[in-house]
Amino acid sequence: MQIKLNLKEATEVFNLPLNDLVFRAQTAHRTWFSPNEVQVSTLLSIKTGSCPENCSYCPQSSHYETGLNKEPLMELADVVAAARRAKEAGSSRFCMGAAWRGPRDRDIALVGQMISEVKSLGLETCVTLGLLRRSQAAALKDAGLDYYNHNIDTSPEYYEEVITTRTFQDRLDTLDSVRKSGIKVCSGGILGLGETNEDRIKMLLVLANLEEPPESVPINQLIKIPGTPLAGEKDVDPFDFVRTIALARILMPKSFIRLSAGREQMSDELQALCFMAGANSIFYGEKLLTANNPVPEKDNALFGRLGLKKMKLPKYEKNIPVMASQEQASL
């Protein structure tokens, strides 16, 4: 089930009275997922800093002075130990990120070893390595990779206000290489870059109207890092953030909608609204690459207050997560 809307139709949905919008999103959510389970992922930076891209939000860019300590590619044993800790803490997916414009073939070989070892622990695997060629995607698939993350960040029209060292089409080409290799796609965007609600709607429409929408859609709130060009941007209106989550759920009902970066700055109440609007995935752990994230104890406490449970490793049928019971699917 893929929802195809044009900009006018999607804007009308986005602007529904909030109660109606959340009800519609929650109805879509319950059709495909258990309503009180959240998929938990852990994200590890396996290579930090010195990225040649000029993404205006990113402290890892070599274009900005952010005080970040640059680190080379991690050792295999250290990555596996981190993955083991993540699994023990309740994560079902382990994501590895490297600050590259795009990996070299020798990098792919090393990351492939990490993927294989993490996969052997019984975890889903995800990597984000930048731009990817088809042959590199195929090699990652052979290593056992489940998901490749490559966010489109914002609308095509606003993209050049944020990044100029690679194009919006470059990002779509990488997603195409990933999809054709048989790897599941993880792609979303960032709110708070100075974009409008129309840009947010257009971003979601690009993803929803791909031949196959992403199986995982991270929605990030900008973390304002001193030294980056966007450090002084104004905050996103919380209700606009909830509306974006809800529209993502309506447009991509079978996808995991991940409440991603920026949760440390969100109140428990805002996060609860996002779960009600269809978010059913989070990043878990004290770090997201280089930025702070709520400590696990805080997330566990929030889950307890809301009656949410961590999702077990999902089974897939033709790339569709099989989570909801027949009874739930009929609601």
Q: Which residues are marked as active site? A: 51, 55, 58, 95, 126, 186, 258
Cα distances from 140 to residues 95, 119, 133, 325, in angstroms, run: 13, 12, 11, 33
Per the CB < 8 A criterion, the answer to whether 279 and 259 are in contact is yes
How far apart CA 14 and CA 17 sit, in angstroms, is: 9
Q: What are phi and psi of 72, to 5 degrees?
A: -75, 180
How far apart CA 313 and CA 270 sit, in angstroms, is: 26
Give the DSSP letter string of 116-148.
HHHHTTT-EEEEE-SS--HHHHHHHHHHT--EE
How far apart CA 249 and CA 246 sit, in angstroms, is: 5
Instruction: Give the pair of three-digit tokens for residue 256.
Output: 């995991």
Give the DSSP letter string of 32-88.
HS-TTEEEEEEEEEEEBS-B----TT-TTBTTS---PPPB-PPPHHHHHHHHHHHHH
Instruction: Give the pair of three-digit tokens for residue 249.
Output: 């759920």
How far apart CA 34 and CA 47 sit, in angstroms, is: 35
Per the CB < 8 A criterion, the answer to whether 316 and 71 are in contact is no
Q: Considering all CA atoms of the chain, what is the largest pairwise distance in Å, rounded to the nearest integer?
A: 54
Q: 3-class DSSP state for residue 12?
A: helix
